[in-house]
Amino acid sequence: DAGVTQSPTHLIKTRGQQVTLRCSPKSGHDTVSWYQQALGQGPQFIFQYYEEEERQRGNFPDRFSGHQFPNYSSELNVNALLLGDSALYLCASSLPMGWEALYNEQFFGPGTRLTVL
């Protein structure tokens, strides 16, 4: 089992550009969440995808968008990049669950380090 995989590992972009990050969930997982972790900070929840739809969203602007494919893999897109978007972007996947169910462990990928110059 490969676990959660993310690509690319590192990425350097300039302000105003657009970027797409990719995530493949752990086998059997259908829920994918994305987090942004700035240097020296804890991860911040961006959004979560389940059944190809955005189910929950954190306090991030519309420049951050995503998609989930039928095979449960997911993409995170960021438009009009700002210097402040430089961070480690983490993807986490988990087993199916209902809104009222107890926590199912989220498995994190190794992240994509995005640097915006």
Q: Does 109 bind another protein (CB under 8 A)?
A: yes
Nearer to another protein, 3 or 20 (CB): 3
d(CA 114, CA 117) in angstroms, rounded, equals: 10
d(CA 110, CA 72): 18
Percent composition of the chain: helix, strand, coil (DSSP 3-state, to 5): 5, 50, 50
Residues in the chain: 117
Residue number with CB closer to another protein (10 or 63): 10
CB 23 within 8 A of CB 88: no
Smallest distance from the beta carbon of 80 to another protein, in angstroms? 25
**What's the closest the beta carbon of residue 86 comes to another protein, in angstroms?**
15
Q: Which of 13, 22, 55, 67 binds another protein (CB under 8 A)?
A: 55
Binding residues for another protein (CB under 8 A) = 4, 31, 33, 35, 40-45, 48, 55-56, 58, 88, 90, 94, 97, 99, 102-111
